[in-house]
Amino acid sequence: MKYDFTRWLPAIAKDSKDPNRKIALSVAGVAALGGLAFGPTAVAAPVTSGPHEGAVAAIEQATGRTQPAPGEESALTTGGTTDKPADKPSRNELIPHGVQGAQSRVPLDDAQLANAKAIVEEAKETGVGKRGAVIGIATSLQESKLYNLGHLGAYNDHDSQGLFQQRPSSGWGSPDQITDPEYSSRAFFEALKNVGGWQDLPLTTAAQTVQVSAYPFAYAQWEEQAADIVAQLW
């Protein structure tokens, strides 16, 4: 199952000591996201079935945001128009095994792009490199569409929050920690490094081993856009 979240995010910003560094979005009455980030020993649990129609309409009206027309390509889809880096990664570095299945894309706004930059910087800091960054970006695209989500009230998916929908109850950290893009990205990459041979695994397998999602094959659809984002931001 794949949900389309482009119509109903973002919404209400969560307060932060540094609003430019951490913006967690909280939506009352919005259904849970399509994947769960469990701890390494947790058992997968069912998730809710889809976005609440009333919440979709309310957020569209409040934000003025509508879904792009079929086939419409936003300039922000791959992170906007940025200068080509001198050491732009090669396609083989970013997608060494080729993409699996049909690919999806969403337009990116400034908040999503800022979160993508935070993920890429943590990929550098933790040493997972360009391929790790692609896995991280693709995972966050699936889990939260690169939005730093706070608690979604009655429709929250268990206690999942943040860019990677990590769960405090599964040992990922406190709500404040997992809604810090730097912390949550670092936690994801440190877990990824514990996956034996992750560099040689298909993206969806590497991501699923960390996330233990109820939708293990959903990550694959974002590999191409994730690679484009990393190529621009690296």
Assess if residue 1 is contained within a domain. Answer: no
What pLDDT, on a 0 to 100 scale, did the predictor assign at position 88?
A: 83
Assess if residue 149 is contained within a domain. Answer: yes
Q: Residue 154 — φ and ψ, nearest 5°? A: -65, -20
pLDDT at 76 over 90: no
pLDDT at 161 over 90: yes
What pLDDT, on a 0 to 100 scale, did the predictor assign at position 128?
A: 98
Assess if residue 110 is contained within a domain. Answer: yes
What pLDDT, on a 0 to 100 scale, did the predictor assign at position 78?
A: 55
Assess if residue 5 is contained within a domain. Answer: no
pLDDT at 156 over 90: no
Distance CA 216, CA 204 (A): 7
Domain that holds residue 197: 12-233
Assess if residue 4 is contained within a domain. Answer: no
Lowest mean pLDDT: which of 15-29, 100-114, 120-134?
A: 15-29
Of 111, 114, 105, 120, the residue nearest 75 (C-alpha): 105
Assess if residue 21 is contained within a domain. Answer: yes
Give the pLDDT band of residue 121 (cuts 50, 70, 90). very high
Cite the beta strand spans of 62-204 per DSSP E. Answer: 148-149
Domain count across the chain = 1
What pLDDT, on a 0 to 100 scale, did the predictor assign at position 178?
A: 95
Assess if residue 2 is contained within a domain. Answer: no
pLDDT at 95 over 90: yes
- Residue % of the chain over a pLDDT of 90: 55
Of 18, 63, 15, 27, the residue nearest 144 (C-alpha): 27
